[in-house]
Amino acid sequence: MVRYIFIWPSRTQSEQLIQYRWYREIHGPEYVRNWGPYMTRYDTYKSFDPPPEAVKRFGAWNNRITDQWFISLEHWKEAMQPWGGQTPPAVLTPRPNEQRAATTLIPGRPTENFSGTNLAPEEKTVLRWFILFRYPDGVSPDEGDRWFLEVHSKEVLQQPGLIRYFSHRTIEADHPIRPAGLGMPKPWHRLVEQWYEDFDAWYESVIEASIKYTAPPWAKIQEPPFMAPGVDFVNTFVGETPDIDFLRDVRPRP
């Protein structure tokens, strides 16, 4: 099982409304018509507005994520072959140097479960901090992961309000399979989820907690996230459940 992840870049509120209508009424149904038979799930999650500190320090995006599940990598590869046209959002004009949606492929289940695997449904409210990053040029995924797994993840576990923490090593970290023209040109190496009960718990854990984080030797900046926000590190905040389940809630567009 593989998951095809999209993190959508920030938009103004008016642009989000325009984009949402196009996505809900046109793009999503077209996608279901063309590639629905290959997928087992096709969900999208509206992002919460990030706190100012998350925007300033981490470059948090305010739009949404999309999560598509395929039975296998082979199913995904076959589905990605050209098949029919797609209707672009006619009103939204790309800005100069604008980042496109960050996209990656991950295994269906986490490659590392650090904590919170026994968290029971409905036991707590859940705020998912959804993080995607890549190591800088010249740093291999294995080299970067030695820092992430042996140093950084252990320091994150000290956060007082962290209730769930897991990570996926992306499929493209080992196999460069990105389709031409989709997302950013370089492969992503890690998708991480850190869960908190709410933004107060996130603020206490990430901004206020006096935890000393160890910068890797290749860090571009000397404090978290250690990578350039919006370039090698993208993130957003979502809840537990999608606002649209395209395979159940939306009629395919003819």
Average pLDDT on 145-154 reads 98
**DSSP single-letter state for residue 185:** S
What is the H or E stretch that residue 200 is in? helix 199-202
Average pLDDT on 175-182 reads 60
The DSSP line for 78-99 is HHTS--S-----SSPPPPTT--
**DSSP single-letter state for residue 171:** G
What tens digit of pLDDT does each residue of 19-68 get? 899 999 999 999 898 889 999 999 999 999 999 999 999 999 999 999 99
What tens digit of pLDDT does each residue of 73-123 get? 999 999 888 766 778 776 666 666 666 789 999 999 999 999 999 988 788
Distance of CA 136 to the CA centre of its chain: 18
What tens digit of pLDDT does each residue of 210-242 get? 999 999 999 989 999 999 999 999 999 999 999
Contact present, 8 and 103 (Cβ < 8 Å): no
What's the sign of the alpha-carbon dihedral 165, 160, 237, 234?
A: negative
